[in-house]
Amino acid sequence: MKLNKLTKTGVFKSVWIFLFSAALMTYACSSTEPMMDVDYTSPTVNSLSNVDSPTPDPRVGLGAGLFDAEEAIWNLNKLSSTPPPEAFLGVTNSDLAFKGKYAIQGNYNGVLVWDISDPANPVLVKDYLCPASQSDVSVYGDLMFVSGEGLSGRLDCGTEGVQQAVSDERLRGIRIFDISNIEEPEYVANVQTCRGSHTHSVLKDPNDDENVYVYVSGSASVRPEEELPGCSDMSPDDDPNSALFRIEVIKVPLSNPEMSKIVSSPRIFEDLKAPPTHGMSPADAIEIEKARKAGAFIIEFNGQETVVPDRFVAQLMTNALGVEGEPTAADSAALREQLPAIVARMFGGGDGDGEEDDRGGPTQCHDITLYPEIGLAGGACEGYGLLLDISDPANPTRIDAVADSNFSYWHSATFSNDGKKVLFTDEWGGGGQPKCREADPMEWGANAIFTIENGKMKFQEYYKLPAPQTSQENCVAHNGSLIPVPGREIMVQSWYQGGISVFDWTDPNNPVEIAFQDYGPIAADRMANGGSWSVYWYNGAIVSSEIARGLDIFELEATPYITQNEIDAANTVKLDYLNAQGQPKFVWPKTFALSKAYVDQLERNKELDNAAVKMARQSLANAEAANPKVRKKILTELADKMDGMASDNEKVKMLAESVRGLASNQ
Amino acid sequence: MPSAKKTLLINALLVTTLIFSACSSSKTTSSSNSENASEQRNNQPSIAELEEIYWARIDSSKMNFTEADVKFMTGMIGHHAQALIMSGLAPENGASPQVQTLAARIINAQKDEIASMQTWLRDRDQPVPEVHIDGLNLMIHGTGMDHSNHMNMAGMLSQEQLVELSGAKGKEFDRLFLTYMIQHHQGAVTMVKTLISTDGAAQDEQAFRLSTDINVDQITEIERMKLMLSKIESESKD
């Protein structure tokens, strides 16, 4: 073709056409509605009111064995199972703490340090022989704390025990180690206490960088005065210095741990009067109403409404009203009228409050969970659940106390992340007894969930391991921690030989199990002590200290009850260390996983309609695939839309906030 | 087959084998962490050996006990058994719902503890008290202790007191039950104190644990019962 045929005008035209189309395309690409929607997959999401748990429960009837027991597992992946080193085998594995890539496992023979950077292959980096029961461990900075209360613990870490009832070789209290080289812990100090240390909790005061505080919970017998001066087991009325009715607070100077000492022994149990029983749960109240409508006889007893059982009704008809044969409607009416008077005669009228009584209350706490970020602590103190104010760490004060009308004797506490709920566990039987048999009541040896309103605790519901266990399996509620799924309260908890249970207690009235693992009994013919002592979530790994079998590590499996997005969002929480009794406050960085998790939850709870859910998912997918500038635009628009839809729905607002936060990071 | 093809085949086989062996060894060297782990596992005893060590250690840990521990366990079995008798009266004697719940809890807890203590003794080849309850009568067989010995333990009710309790109904039962059970529990706490004041006692982990659990649970129950009792007593003053 001859160049001169392509006149300037012709070329000009085609250039312009080209430029124009290019401009159009650029405009189209950068517009808020991308030309092409990105593909994405929707997770399957199901409501918690209809959990499809395996039936029959596979935890029933599991074959026995030590390292080869049958196993049932649901919605969890087991990454590894590692037996203890030989010198620690056949000795109880106890509690866990975490620092960096290490899991520190207490054992009645001392402490095991595991490198769990590859959770499928834990590596033992140190086994430190220093017998003590229960070897409850905590870490802070370069220090490790270990509890001892048994009579055979020695100051010199010897294994020969202590044969004298009074001995200066005995350690009952807290051992302190320097773990700046965690593979070679250095025993630097100890603090003796009157009752030893059953467990302990470490509190870092946000206003004090020089010290940490250790709250010591001791429940064993008081030492003789000759062994540790100042220890008295007399009633505080007879001896104000009694070791009963107090907790010990140890102040640890971080740069001079050998100067650690007890600084106060606050009496947080003073003047605990008739414990307010927790009263009826909302579920009980509904039952009472149903019974009332069905014509049952209701009496008020001890300030609480109770249905009178039928056989008592029959007795009352005969004895109190002189009715013979079948009662008539008139008889029933008469009984209803007379009931309060009859009850008053039988049991004494009123609810008997306001009496000054002799010292009533616990003498020690079994375990205290400190949540310094919200200034609260939950004390499980021999029958009382205490709510403590710890804004002054050396001087905790009591805000509220509850006792359980089912006589649960609480042993530990866990707060929800927002501090609005607290869960107490009842370690009925001390952990050495089988309390999950068919005939054992579901209110005993279980968790009790409370809401906290204006500093007052209000009972909601119990949660207990749903699967019955055999008489050969010690089983009861024990240690656990929150899994940081944003927007929900999910806890993973150990139940000794009942295995581990993951449950959602976001709705305090309806705790629901969503995952579990269990072994058959260690021995088929006898109760051998074993099972999970503690199980905690730490940086994506669910780590269980198995009393007999060693260290088990799991991860969550994506299911309709926890989606992969929710798991991913949980795993954006990175902890530098963890002491479960020093509860950390979870904060979620703004990520796509976080936003997607909220969308999944809004779909699950039907708080957003299908169209909105679809729109949100598509926007997020498009945003994720786009360049930062476009991404920001898409996210901002999505946030605006969500804000518009929110009205007073908290979670939609959280979604909007999370999306907006993500946008501002672009 | 022609030698060229044969050579080719052999080479192919060699290469394939090399590839497979290279692949399998690369698994264990993929990270130094898992290398350490698998090396640790290679140096560790087998599962069967681990189990042997485990059970041997469990058995030998049972040998670290004293006469005081045996006396404690033997006595406490009888002590607990009386609590079962007392608590068993609650339903038929018209105890309040609160007292009935408490009694049920005491029965469940102490029954299991009796079983644990019997196991403890059996494991150490000591005479095992067998408990036989007939109404208000408690009989302990198998220890060579005569029938009346167990009545002398701290806090135990006399037969007269038991009869008195069994005759009480309703609120009177509540009052007597709480009074007597407080005394009974205090006896158990005393027995624990005696145990740990004895040289060499409760070195055995199970003995320490059982005695401590009994101590804690019963101290807790004493406090709750004191509160319940004072409520009843204040009501009866009205």
pLDDT at B17: 47
Q: What is the pLDDT of residues A503-525, one digit of tens each?
A: 999 999 999 999 999 999 999 99
Query: Are A380 and A370 spatial neighbours (Cβ–Cβ below 8 Å)?
Result: no
Closest CA to A533 of A227, A271, A199, A303: A199
Residues A226 and A314 in one domain: no
For the purposes of burial, counting CB atoms within 10 Å of the CB of A295, is it exposed (0-12), middle (13-18) or buried (19 or more)? exposed
pTM: 0.82
Q: Which of A193-207, A548-562, B7-21, B127-141 has the lowest mean pLDDT?
A: B7-21
Lowest mean pLDDT across A189-198, A278-287, A374-383, B91-100: A278-287
Mean pLDDT score across all residues of chain A:
86
Are A147 and A228 found together in one domain? yes
Cα gap A444→A572, rounded to integer Å: 36
Neighbouring CB atoms inside 10 A of A629's CB total: 9
| Chain A contact set for B197 (CB, 8 A) | 165, 224
Higher pLDDT, A639 or A358: A639
Task: Decide if pLDDT at A174 tops 80.
Answer: yes
Q: What is the pLDDT of residues A624-652, one digit of tens each?
A: 999 999 999 999 999 999 999 988 899 99
Query: Is A265 found in the same domain as A120?
Result: yes
Please give the residue of chain A at the shortest CA–CA distance from B211: A220
User: In the predicted model, is pLDDT for residue B22 greater than 80?
Assistant: no
Lowest average pLDDT, out of A374-388, A512-526, B134-148, goes to B134-148
Q: What percentage of residues in chain A have a pLDDT greater than 70?
A: 83
CA-to-CA distance for A92 and A84, rounded, in angstroms?
10
Would you state the pLDDT for residue A11? 56
Flag whether pLDDT at B201 surpasses 60. Answer: yes
Q: Using a CB-CB distance cutoff of 8 angstroms, which residues of chain B are in contact with residue A224?
A: 197
B91 touches A at CB < 8 Å: no
Q: Evaluate if residue A496 carries a pLDDT over 90.
A: yes
- Say whether both A305 and A176 belong to one domain: no
Q: Is A290 inside any structural domain?
A: yes
Parallel/antiparallel/unpaired status of strands A93-99 and A102-107 = antiparallel
- What is the number of residues in chain A? 666
The residues with which A211 forms a beta bridge, in sequence order, are A253
Which comes out higher in pLDDT, residue A236 or B133?
B133
Q: How confident is the model at residue A23 (pLDDT cuts 50, 70, 90)?
A: low
Query: Is A304 inside any structural domain?
Result: yes
What percent of chain B is modeled with pLDDT above 90?
54
- The topology under which CATH files domain B67-237 is Ferritin (1.20.1260)
CB A95 within 8 A of CB A136: yes
CA A469 to chain centre: 22
Give the domain range for residue A626.
Answer: 592-664
- Which residue among A67, A85, A91 sits closest to B47, beta carbon to beta carbon? A67
The answer to whether the CB atoms of B98 and A403 lie below 8 A apart is: no
- A348 pLDDT more than 60: no
Residue A284's SS3 state is: helix
Q: Would you call A151 and B196 a contact, using CB atoms and an 8 Å cutoff? A: yes
Query: What is the DSSP pairing of strand A577-578 with strand A550-556?
Result: unpaired
Q: Do residue A103 and residue A239 come from a single domain? A: yes
Partner B contacted by A42 (CB < 8 A): no
Q: How many CB atoms lie within 10 A of CB A296?
A: 15
- Residue A312 in any domain: the answer is yes
* pLDDT the model gives residue A365: 72
First to last CA, chain B: 115
Sheet strands side by side (includes A384-389): A367-371, A376-381, A384-389, A397-403
**In this predicted model, what pLDDT tens digit does every residue of B160-181 receive, in sequence order?**
999 999 999 999 999 999 999 9
pLDDT tens for each residue of A108-120: 999 999 999 999 9
Q: How close is the nearest chain B Cα to the Cα of A424, in Å?
A: 16
Query: What is the distance of C-alpha A639 from the center of its chain?
Result: 32
Average pLDDT for A396-402: 86
Per-residue pLDDT at A233: 72
Query: Higher model confidence: residue B80 or residue A343?
Result: B80
The structural domains of chain B, with segments of one domain joined by +, span 33-62, 67-237
Give the residue from A214, A248, A272 where a domain finishes.
A272
pLDDT confidence bin for A330, thresholds 50/70/90: confident
- Residue B182: pLDDT band with limits 50, 70, 90: very high
If asked whether residues A218 and A299 sit together in one domain, one would say no
- pLDDT band of A31, cuts 50, 70, 90: very low
Q: Which helix (H) or strand (E) holds A251?
A: strand A248-253
Query: What pLDDT is stored for residue A289 in this prediction?
Result: 77
Residue ending a domain, among A325, A347, A369, is A347
Q: Are residues A335 and A263 in the same domain?
A: no
On whether both A252 and A313 belong to a single domain, the answer is: no
Residue located via tokens 């990520």: A591
- pLDDT for A35 beyond 80: no
A302 contact residues in B (CB cutoff 8 A): 96-98
Residues of B in contact with A301 (CB under 8 A): 96-97
Q: What distance in Å separates the CA atoms of residue B61 and residue A150, rounded to the nearest whole number?
A: 15
Q: Give CA–CA dist A286/A19, Å, rounded.
A: 73
Kindly state the average pLDDT of the residues B1-19. Answer: 49
Q: Could you report the per-residue pLDDT of A568-617, keeping only the tens digit for each?
A: 999 999 999 999 888 999 999 999 999 999 999 999 999 999 999 999 99
Q: Which of B29, B33, B206 to mutate to test the interface with A (most CBs of A within 10 A)?
A: B33
Any chain B CB within 8 A of the CB of A407? Answer: yes
Task: pLDDT band for A347, please (50, 70, 90 cuts).
Answer: very low
CB spacing of B119 vs A151 below 8 angstroms? no
* CA A82 to centroid of chain Cα atoms: 24
Tens-digit pLDDT profile for residues B29-74: 333 444 455 555 556 678 899 999 999 999 988 988 999 999 999 9
Q: How far apart are CA A218 and CA A248, in angstroms?
A: 9
Of A221, A346, A350, the CB nearest to B171: A346
Instruction: Assess contact for B107 and B182: CB atoms under 8 A.
Output: no
Is A211 inside a domain boundary? yes
CA B207 – CA B216 distance, rounded (Å): 14
Please determine, for residue A399, whether its predicted confidence score (pLDDT) is greater than 80.
yes
**Mean pLDDT for the stretch of residues A95-112:** 97
Name the closest residue on chain B to residue A233, using Cα atoms.
Answer: B193
C-beta separation of B173 from B98 below 8 A: no
Q: What percent of chain A has pLDDT over 90?
A: 61
A237 found inside a domain = yes
The ipTM (two decimal places) reads: 0.78
Q: Which of A332, A347, A362 is the last residue of a domain?
A: A347
In this prediction, residues B188-196 reach a mean pLDDT of: 93
- Residue A519 inside a domain? The answer is no
DSSP A507: S
Residue A374 exposed, middle or buried by CB count within 10 Å (0-12, 13-18, 19+): middle
Distances (CA, A) of A619 to A29, A605, A616, A654: 15, 20, 5, 17
Range list of β-strands (E), A71-197? 71-74, 76-82, 93-99, 102-107, 110-115, 123-129, 134-140, 143-148, 173-178, 186-192
Q: DSSP characters for A569-628?
A: HHTT---SEEBTTBPPPP-----HHHHHHHHHHHHHTT-S-HHHHHHHHHHHHHHHHS-H
State the total domains in chain A: 3
Residue of higher predicted confidence among B118 and B18 = B118
The values of phi and psi at residue A75, to 5°, are 65, 20
